[in-house]
Structure 1
Amino acid sequence: MNDTYTPPQDPLDVLHLDHHLLVVNKPSGLLSVPGKGEHLADCLIARVQAAFPDALLIHRLDRDTSGVMVFALTPHAQRHIGLQFEKRQTKKTYVARVFGRITEKTGTVDLPLIVDWPNRPLQHVNFETGKEAITDWRVVKYEENATRVRLFPKTGRSHQLRVHMREIGHPILGDPFYATGAALNAPRLMLHAEELRLRHPEGGAGQRFRAPAPF
């Protein structure tokens, strides 16, 4: 993987703002949190806190994944929504373009994952020590040598969608970690967090935040 880090300089794309929550559309190529070393200091949380100093991290997206990310503006909101993630009460929808043609229209991948220590941050399937990881998927449409799918993770393991798609023989296009050969021929990782549903920390009303896929 190319080690030079040149994140996009797009202005902050705010999808929702109230006294408790800030929801933004993260661009592909930008870290969610700082990496190790000064050259990896530029990240979404730093940019968000420059504009909203009270913003608190709740969850992350991979550097190359774009889409909906929610931040808390109070410690109460951070705890409240953090628990929803922990208890799997949030509903996440991703859009991906994967290599090849998936013959079935829908399916579920249920393969336990754990970090591949010698090759970290890569993850791999391990039935002895892996943690439960479940992804539902549905075909949206067929393209030339690719399939557009919606992915519905039931768990939130690191790289879950990327490994699960690779394991069923259809790696996500442009994935620098898990795709090889022709599947690498894409301008970016073709994975986007399209929608997030959660309960508002003040009053508990259902909220739905959405950002259409840019590909």
Structure 2
Amino acid sequence: MTNFLQQTLIHRDEHFIVINKPAGLLSVPGKGDLTDCVINRLLVDEPSTLLIHRLDRDTSGILVFALNKAAQSHISKQFQNRQTNKQYHALVSGHLSGEGSVEVPVNYDPTRPPLHIADPAYHKPALTHWQAVEQFEINHQPVTRVKLTPITGRSHQLRVHMQYLGHAIVGDELYASAAACELMPRLCLHAEQLSFFHPVTGQTLNFVCPAPF
């Protein structure tokens, strides 16, 4: 077993593997020579590794990969049909209290790649529930610890929705202010919890990986 798998492994059986993706590492190969990524590292240990879903490069946390075609199809359909339960942990700029939802479509902005924007006129819905957990300060700047539950899974959805709410995620070089980016050396967004049905037994599985910030 490689050091990467030893350091990131959460669960493995004959059908799928669950890891804790580090921040700063692509889930799949990028453009050009950007070949270092999670799936290529896993293929060294598990040549049958198959993609199910992704996390942004700078987001850390739970990722699941299939180890056979049947498991890939079964778990992928759960994501597509919104049968999974996902929860993220984030630090956002400013003080936020209570809980609520952001329901506004997220659309790719071709004039400023790779940015996405909140676009009420776009035809695909996007919905995020949020809950404030704790208010505190970093370097005398107000921040809030929040739990984020995406109901849909659009690209950059959580990052755009929190910016739209006026509380961009700390360390987000695409959507936060320069001051908010200076507070932490990374994007403070972590996929903390994921539940889905086992592709063979049908048992409900729940994986939790606490945020490192």
TM-score (norm 2): 0.94
Instruction: Name the aligned partner's letter for residue 43 of structure 1.
Output: C
Written as runs of structure 1 = structure 2, the 5 A alignment for 1:1-215 is 11-12=4-5, 13-38=8-33, 40-102=34-96, 104-144=97-137, 145-185=142-182, 186-215=184-213
Q: Which runs of no fewer than 5 residues in structure 1 stay unpaired?
A: 1-8
Moved over 4 A (4+): none
Identical counterparts, % of pairs? 52
Consecutive unaligned residues in structure 2, runs of 5 or more? none
Shift of residue 114 of structure 1? 1.0
TM-superposed CA distance for 1:106, in Å, is 0.5
Aligned-residue offset at 1:206: 0.3
CA RMSD of aligned residues (A): 1.2
Counterpart contact for 2:4–2:41, Cα < 8 Å: no
Kindly tell me: are residues 161 and 10 of structure 1, through their superposed partners in 2, closer, same or farther at Cα, counting changes over 3 Å?
A: farther
Cα deviation for residue 129 of structure 1 reads: 2.2
What does the per-residue CA deviation read over 1:150-192, in whole Å, with 9 as the maximum and x for residues that have no partner? 0000000000000000001000000010011311111100000
Structure 1 SS opposite 2:111: helix
Q: Deviations over 1:180-207 (max 9, x none)?
A: 1311111100000001000000021100
Distance 2:185 2:3 in 1: 17
Q: Does the 8 A contact of 1:112 with 1:131 survive in 2?
A: yes
Question: Matched residue of 2:64: which SS?
Answer: strand
Equivalent residues, number: 205
- Give the partner amino acid of 2:158: L
